[in-house]
Amino acid sequence: MVDAFLALDFLFRALGSVGGGFVSVVTDVGAALASPFSGIVRGAGPPTVGHTADWPVLVAIVVYTAAAWVAARMCLVLLGQGHPLARY
C-alpha cells in the first residue's frame, strides 16, 4: 500500500494532475510518506510549469520496498525452515 500511494503520487505529479478528491488524498499521503527523504535528492533542473518530478518519492519507494523485503526475510528466518510459510 505504501508503494502504491508513492507511485500514484509520483505519477500524478509528473502528469501535472489537478488536485481534487482522490488525487488530493494520494498526494497528501504520498508527501507525508516521502517527507523523510526530501533533503536527500533535489530536482536536476528547473521545474517545468505544471509538471514536477518529485525525486524524493522515488527514493522513498526504494527504501520502503527494501525495508519490507528485509522484514519479510526476517520473518521467514524467525519462523524457521520447517514452518509451512517458510516455503513461500
Position 5 scores a pLDDT of: 93
What pLDDT shows up at residue 40?
81
User: Of 44, 42, 57, 45, which Cα lies nearest the Cα of 12?
Assistant: 57
| Backbone φ, ψ for residue 86 (5° rounding) | -70, -20
Write the pLDDT tens digit of every residue in 55-76.
889 999 999 999 999 898 888 7
pTM: 0.74
Predicted confidence (pLDDT) per residue in 32-53, tens digit: 999 888 888 765 555 555 556 6
pLDDT for position 60:
93
Q: Where are the alpha helices (DSSP H) in the chain?
A: 2-15, 21-34, 55-79
Question: Mean pLDDT across the stretch 19-33?
Answer: 89
Which sequence spans correspond to the domains of the chain? Answer: 2-87
Residues in the chain, how many?
A: 88
